[in-house]
Structure 1
Amino acid sequence: MRSLCSVQQKIPCVFLTEVKEEESRKRACQQYQVVATEGLNPAALQADVDCALATEKLDGTCCYVTVYKGRPYLWARLDRKPNKQAEKRFKKYQHSHRSCEGFKWNADNDFKTVPETWIPAHRVRHHNGHPLPDEHGHTPGWVPVEKDNKQYCWHSSVVDYEVGAALILRPSAEDEDVLEVAAVPLAELLEQTLELIGTNVNGNPYGLGSKKHPVHFLVSHGTIQIRNPPPVDFQQLRSWFQGSPEGRVEGIVWHCADGTLVKVHRHHLGLRWPDGDSCFSDRMAVVCVDSVTGEYADLQDLFSSFSALKGRCFSRLQDIRFDP
């Protein structure tokens, strides 16, 4: 498989965008929305997006695997944001200048406190040793997922630090149309970014698990490829999302050869999400959690639950259920 790019920064739209003063389809209480125009983003053209690898954009929360306390650890996305006073000053500047260029941040006083373990994402710019925010005033970063942190309990459910493994959902080596659930050593995932999806993430658009028996997985970014993707053209992409069985996805992320990432989301094109069953949740799935089965003594543990289903094949991913 070709080399894939990790998701450390906000991915720009493959098209040039504009802001419309109307209620957002994506975020409640947001009275504007960002929509795509028909013009291609110059960054996408420069990166030769027509030759890029098109992959499915999954609807979850971004994670990262890197070293913490001397061993591979799962990290959750946490952006450092401005405090109320700085946010007010920033918006006032934007309104008066019709741009955020030239705005000066105070690194010591303008931002909310983040945990001491927080690290900035790759390629975040620094000035005098301080990480600088992006154009929205946010500094993307990561915090390690500790088992005793209830805020990240669903992240914790997919990792076992005692055996150094993570629950991964990936295409089967035998048949790429089939998804497999596997326990993968965290060491094999070092420096990758992944998407956490499941019952308690982003409204569960894939219909996974239940309130009584939640189901969560990690999916490495770029591993769910889109076969025969449409050309990178506004009207053809919109038609593909609306009419193609393969178009029942949240969006597309293109991995360009030079490391550039660009995306398009259904909301960019004025389309709903979710909108019925997704292509991803309709895929066949097989459970292959067996490499460290003997380590799992807690019957409520997600690893134990999946290891009990070892070898089971489900006609649809969303049909995976644990026995009561």
Structure 2
Amino acid sequence: MRRLGSVQQKIPCVFLTDVKEEQSRKRDCQAFQVVATENVNPVALDANIDCALATEKLDGTCCYVTVYKGQPYLWARLDRKPNKQAEKRFKKYQHSYKSCKGFTWNVEEDFKTVPETWIPAHRVKHHNGHPVPDDHGHIPGWVPVDKDNKQYCWHSSVVDYDVGAALVLRPSSDDENRLEIAAVPLADLQEQTLELIGTNVNGNPYGLGSKKQPVHCLVSHGSIRIRNPPPVDFHQLCSWLQESPEGRVEGIVWHCNDGTLVKVHRHHLGLRWPDGDTCFGTRPVVIRVDGTVDAYNNSKDLFTSFCALNGHCFSRLQDIQFEL
């Protein structure tokens, strides 16, 4: 498992990429697609990717744990984005040059305001005291998740600040083929980035919960290893993603021994996502949220629901239900 702090770095693709003049499948405002070529990125080769740890890239929203109000807190990803006029200029530039590089921003005037509690991610560059936008015109950052903020209600459902815990989905401590959902002290997650996944996040590709009984949880980045990963070869990776049951993933993030991270998305290879049941959603899971129901304030919250299921096993993650 990697500890990233508030890093929101741009992870390079494992293959060299090219630009295709078609509307992006990932970003509505982008009039071109970034596609992988068959050539392995020199960054990956220099980092000895063949010896790297391959982990599953999960499809959710990025979060971060650090101190706020004197205690460990969950923070939600919030990019500072350009206002309408600046965005119009940016799109026009993208369309004309088929690239984001070279566009000039006025950081003081071109961007929307953010809450006073907002902080930029650690590796965001600064110029004249102002954070510098990335290639997509965003300034990555974080805002603390308060229970009173309805905008982040699904984030707040996975934390209990009174007991200082978060609901974390991770590999089981006694069986690496099985997952477990546990109440983990927020202090143990300090300076980690995690992915929030669940019913109301990114179309719920993993089939967690339902509209009536939403289920959300956090997954530490780098914690879900890919068993028997394919070689870093364009054609073998494409075949694995399309044909192997373990290849039903959004992508792979390789963690190299020197700290370098490289990745590949299905959309880099022109493949659909999701495409049927996901590998992650069909893995068995055990609930390990112990304690008493009285330990949690709200009798309807996720902690209480999972506490009532403590010790129960489900054959698939997507089969979790609270009324048994």
With normalisation by structure 2, the TM-score equals 0.94
Q: Hey, what does 2:208 align to over in structure 1?
A: 208
- Per-residue CA distance 1:140-166 (angstroms, 9 max, x = gap): 111111111111000000000111100
Decide whether the 8 Å contact of 1:25 with 1:272 is kept in 2. no
Q: Hey, what does 1:174 align to over in structure 2?
A: 174
Q: Hey, what does 1:323 align to over in structure 2?
A: 323
| Aligned-partner Cα distance in 2 for 1:185–1:312 | 21
Q: Hey, what does 2:269 align to over in structure 1?
A: 269
- Per-residue CA distance 1:111-149 (angstroms, 9 max, x = gap): 111111111112111112111111222111111111111
Q: Hey, what does 2:141 align to over in structure 1?
A: 141
Q: Post-superposition shift, 1:23?
A: 4.2
Q: Hey, what does 1:312 align to over in structure 2?
A: 312
Decide whether the 8 Å contact of 1:183 with 1:291 is kept in 2. no
Structure 2 letter corresponding to 1:242: Q
Q: Post-superposition shift, 1:35?
A: 1.4
Q: Hey, what does 2:124 align to over in structure 1?
A: 124
Q: Post-superposition shift, 1:262?
A: 1.3
Decide whether the 8 Å contact of 1:5 with 1:255 is kept in 2. no
| Aligned-partner Cα distance in 2 for 1:95–1:209 | 40
Q: Hey, what does 1:227 align to over in structure 2?
A: 227
| Aligned-partner Cα distance in 2 for 1:274–1:145 | 28
Q: Hey, what does 1:89 align to over in structure 2?
A: 89
Q: Post-superposition shift, 1:97?
A: 5.4
Structure 2 letter corresponding to 1:133: P
Q: Hey, what does 1:51 align to over in structure 2?
A: 51
Structure 1 letter corresponding to 2:275: D
Q: Post-superposition shift, 1:21?
A: 2.4
Gap regions ≥5 residues in structure 1 = none
Q: Post-superposition shift, 1:103?
A: 3.3
Structure 2 letter corresponding to 1:15: F
CA spacing shift, 1:297–1:71, aligned 2, 3 Å? closer
Decide whether the 8 Å contact of 1:4 with 1:255 is kept in 2. no
Decide whether the 8 Å contact of 2:179 with 2:285 is kept in 1. yes
Decide whether the 8 Å contact of 1:163 with 1:292 is kept in 2. no
SS across alignment from 2:283: coil
CA spacing shift, 1:99–1:200, aligned 2, 3 Å? closer
Structure 2 letter corresponding to 1:315: S
Q: How many residues align?
A: 323
CA spacing shift, 1:92–1:3, aligned 2, 3 Å? closer
| Aligned-partner Cα distance in 1 for 2:9–2:77 | 10
| Aligned-partner Cα distance in 2 for 1:112–1:218 | 29
| Aligned-partner Cα distance in 2 for 1:26–1:129 | 32
With normalisation by structure 1, the TM-score equals 0.94
| Aligned-partner Cα distance in 1 for 2:49–2:252 | 12
Higher mean C-alpha deviation, range 251-260 or range 164-173: 251-260
Q: Post-superposition shift, 1:99?
A: 4.9
- Per-residue CA distance 1:276-315 (angstroms, 9 max, x = gap): 1111111111000014644124221110000000110111
CA spacing shift, 1:25–1:111, aligned 2, 3 Å? closer
| Aligned-partner Cα distance in 2 for 1:96–1:163 | 53
Map residues 1-324 of structure 1 onto 2, 5 A cutoff.
3=2, 5=4, 8-27=8-27, 31-94=31-94, 99-291=99-291, 293-323=293-323
Decide whether the 8 Å contact of 2:30 with 2:91 is kept in 1. no
Aligned-pair Cα RMSD in Å: 1.9
| Aligned-partner Cα distance in 2 for 1:46–1:144 | 37
Structure 1 letter corresponding to 2:166: A
Decide whether the 8 Å contact of 1:5 with 1:261 is kept in 2. no
Q: Post-superposition shift, 1:5?
A: 4.7
- Per-residue CA distance 1:242-293 (angstroms, 9 max, x = gap): 1111101111011122222211111111111111111111111100001464
Q: Post-superposition shift, 1:33?
A: 2.4
Structure 1 letter corresponding to 2:55: T
| Aligned-partner Cα distance in 2 for 1:238–1:167 | 34
Structure 2 letter corresponding to 1:17: T
Decide whether the 8 Å contact of 2:157 with 2:216 is kept in 1. yes
Structure 1 letter corresponding to 2:45: L
Give aligned-pair identity as a percent.
Answer: 78
